[in-house]
Amino acid sequence: MRAAGLAEEPAPALPGQWKAGRRLGTLRRRRGCSKASWRAGVLEVVMAQAYAPVEAALGPVEHFLSLADILTLNGRGRNWLLRAGPNWRGAASCVVPGQRQAGPRLCPEGLSGPTGNCTACIEAESPTDTGSELEIPLWLAKGLYDKRRVLSVELPKIYKESWRTVFNADANVVDLHKLGPYYYGFGSQLLNFDSPENMELAQSILQTFIGRFRHIMDSSQNTFNEDTSALVTRLDELERALFQTGQKGLHDFQCWEMGQAAQITVSSLIQNYKKRKFTDMDS
């Protein structure tokens, strides 16, 4: 058995980096973490690198295969409203129960039972059904929205004027995860419906992001080996991904600084599998 004789990596020469590193180093010592637990914390954050999901496309166009985009489009939310336009009657007239016995009936609430007594059905049944308001998911609204003006779209509450004022005042205090959780993605998808407020909407989304970005960047770059759940709870899904990326960069840098960059580590994917096996055995 010989000594490995691996030389420690030289300390980084750039003064700025050195300063930042020392700050975190003292942070570790002050918190009294042992180097081993320190390293364990580092390991946990490093995500599975071989697997990279299809990223969500931001903007009016979506990415067909992105899971996040699919869930974004599913958003109807409590506030998502749709006003049936003058041509909606066509759809409504064929929801009348009894006309079609076999197969699922068209009903905005889905494959309801034989009675079909969901509120949307009843609303649509009535002769004055134009102008009735339905809550439908975004993907459906996007599909039905066309030149024939079957429906007109009303912006959800959080994208309306009153909430925009709130975002303008201070975007940092808003709990976007509760309102969203895909605030940015959903908002930019709304630009597909040529609403007169489009310009203000786009501006507001952009300004919200600009206002919140600094806080996210600061917190992700300066929280090392700490519980981040409190910082993350109020972030939108897009911001969470941003936060994770920042954390990963910080950890990789720390690893390099402590001379661990060359160390071969356990694959985090495999490690997670091992953890889960334990829980399976317990249950």
Q: What is the dihedral of CA 138, 139, 140, 144, to 10 degrees?
A: 100
Nearer to another protein, 94 or 217 (CB): 94
Among 81, 106, 202, 231, contact with another protein (rule: CB under 8 A): 106
User: Considering the complex, what minimum distance in angstroms separates the CB of residue 214 from another protein?
Assistant: 26
Helix residue ranges per DSSP H, 32-126: 35-45, 67-74, 89-93, 119-125
Q: Smaller CB distance to another protein: residue 150 or 205? A: 150
Tokens of 38: 């320190």
Which residue bears the tokens 């160390």?
Answer: 263
Tell me: does residue 57 bind another protein (CB under 8 A): no
Judged by CB under 8 A, the residue of 32, 50, 78, 196 near another protein is: 50
List, in order, residues 6 or more apart from 73 with CB less than 8 Å away.
Answer: 62, 137, 138, 139, 142, 189
* Assigned token pair, 133: 């308001």
Find the shortest distance in angstroms from Cβ 201 to another protein: 24
Given candidates 41, 97, 137, 211, which one binds another protein under the rule CB under 8 A? 137
Residue 265 to residue 73: CA distance in whole angstroms: 38
Beta carbon of residue 235, minimum distance to another protein (angstroms, whole number) = 15
Which residue has 């990223």 as its token pair? 55
In the bound complex, what is the minimum distance in angstroms from residue 64's beta carbon to another protein?
6
Residue 163 structure tokens: 């909430």
86 binds another protein (CB under 8 A): no
Q: C-beta of 88: minimal distance to another protein in Å?
A: 7
Tell me the residue ranges of DSSP E strands in the chain: 81-84, 133-134, 151-154
Q: CB of 31: closest distance to another protein in angstroms?
A: 22
Structure-token match 């064929």, residue found: 94
Residue recorded with tokens 């905005």? 108
Place of tokens 């914390």: 41
157: contact with another protein by CB under 8 A: no
2 binds another protein (CB under 8 A): yes
Is 117 among the residues that bind another protein (CB under 8 A)? no
Applying CB under 8 A, which residues contact another protein? 1-8, 47-48, 50-54, 64-68, 70-71, 74, 87-91, 93-94, 100, 103-104, 106, 108-111, 137, 139-140, 143-144, 150, 259-274, 276-277
